[in-house]
Chains A and B, each alone.
Chain A
Amino acid sequence: MSDVRTQALLWYWQRMSAMVLALCVVVHLAGIIYAVRGGLTAAEILGRTRGNWAFGAFYAVFVVACAIHAPIGVANIVGETTVGRGSSALVIASVLGVAILMMGFSAVYGLVAR
């Protein structure tokens, strides 16, 4: 895969994930505003989310979109500001992507399945 093609594909995936994130953020905020009417406790949140696989699927998509979007952006920033677009940027972006996936899925699992 040529460098030019990689750049074009990374741009494509960042834009696609941004579209998904925009939708997810709107749904997420709307959900919060709807859910907190009259106050909300942690127990009430868990009461609604446990066993709710649609909720889990939605937030899993949210996590995946974050794990795609953020590392590509960070790799661009690292490439432009410090070490250049080399293996260091790739390592930093990969570590960030894996961390987002692990923390995100752990949170989704905690809300839905635990």
Chain B
Amino acid sequence: MTESLKVRVWRGTDRGAFAAYEVPRSESQTVLDVVTYIQRRIDPTLSYRFACRVGMCGSCAMSVNGIARWTCRTHVSRVAKDGVLEIAPLPNLPVIKDLVTDMREFFDKWAKARGQFKGTRTRHDDFARIAPASPERVAADAGIECIGCGVCYASCDVVTWRPAFLGPAALNRAWTLVNDPRDVRQRERLRAVAGDAGCHSCHTQGSCGERCPKHIEPTAGIAGLKRLAARAALRGEL
């Protein structure tokens, strides 16, 4: 283990530059620890975002040596073998300041993909009974653990190429709801996620699944949406 780390951190907004810092190395040090050290010991004007520090909230994602990651769950030993770290805000999102990105567009796209659940039952009705082993429940389970960190969105080349693309997270959310038999907006949702801005733009490159810290495979859900959209189109329901 080296005595210290050479750290380059993005400073500024969409226009800015990397600033260099020297941070002492320690055991089990995470990238978030490094950023926190810089802000608390070297430069208090550094802006970044975090909350839980244990991989539950999804707020501390940044680009670390060119790859989007949760900084709280990324050990320095895993990503800075030569003692060098480059930390930048998540790609594909506007930068507010330093390492803080504006996530509004990312979450607005969840809404555009009809990411809201809408059922018909009230509190006075009995529980819906969904068999845990049913294909729909299994398909929804595969994508349901997303915490909205934006790592997949930042890693998606199609989002870079085509900014209107809804992105892997929003489409994954739509896929979990498409597989929810209680939801009543299925046709509207399929219409929202099909087409150029939706699932049909996905090139199945798989960066989203490769980088997802929760090991979700959004491309599998997106492929499912393409199949359902084709079926609906053939029946004249799209």
A53 within 8 A of partner (CB) = no
Q: Which residues of B contact A12 (CB under 8 A)?
A: 230, 233-234
Question: Bound complex: CA of A97 vs CA of B195, how far in Å?
Answer: 22
Q: Which of B152-199 contact A (CB under 8 A)?
A: 161-162, 191, 194-196, 198
- Tell me how many residue pairs across A and B have CB atoms closer than 8 Å: 42
Interface string of B103-144 (1 = CB under 8 A from A): 000000000000000000000000000000000000000000
A11 vs chain B, min Cβ distance (A): 6
A4 touches B194 (CB 8 A): yes
B234 touches A7 (CB 8 A): no
Question: Bound complex: CA of A100 vs CA of B10, how far in Å?
Answer: 52
A3 touches B230 (CB 8 A): no
A9 within 8 A of partner (CB) = yes
Q: Which residues of A contact B162 (CB under 8 A)?
A: 80
**Given A12-B230, A12-B233, A12-B234: A7 touches B161 (CB 8 Å cut-off):** no
Question: Bound complex: CA of A4 vs CA of B166, how far in Å?
Answer: 14
Q: Which of B87-109 contact A (CB under 8 A)?
A: none
A48 within 8 A of partner (CB) = no
Interface string of B194-217 (1 = CB under 8 A from A): 111010100000000000000000
B233 touches A85 (CB 8 A): no
Question: Bound complex: CA of A5 vs CA of B238, how far in Å?
Answer: 6
Question: Bound complex: CA of A80 vs CA of B161, how far in Å?
Answer: 8
B195 touches A3 (CB 8 A): yes
Q: Which residues of B contact A106 (CB under 8 A)?
A: none
Contact with A11, one of B161, B191, B200 (Cβ below 8 angstroms): B200
B232 within 8 A of partner (CB) = yes
A38 vs chain B, min Cβ distance (A): 43
Q: Which residues of A contact B229 (CB under 8 A)?
A: 4, 7-8, 11
B226 within 8 A of partner (CB) = yes
Q: Which residues of B contact A87 (CB under 8 A)?
A: none
A11 touches B226 (CB 8 A): yes
A2 within 8 A of partner (CB) = yes
**Given A2-B238, A3-B196, A4-B195: A9 touches B233 (CB 8 Å cut-off):** yes
A11 touches B196 (CB 8 A): no
B-side residues, CB < 8 A to A, are: 161-162, 191, 194-196, 198, 200, 226, 229-230, 232-234, 238
Can you offer 13 A-B residue contacts whose CB atoms are under 8 A? Answer: A2-B238, A3-B196, A4-B195, A4-B238, A5-B233, A5-B238, A8-B200, A8-B226, A9-B230, A9-B234, A11-B226, A12-B234, A79-B196
Given contacts A4-B194, A7-B229, 13 further A-B contacts (CB under 8 A): A2-B238, A4-B238, A5-B194, A5-B233, A8-B194, A8-B200, A8-B226, A8-B233, A11-B229, A12-B230, A12-B233, A12-B234, A80-B162
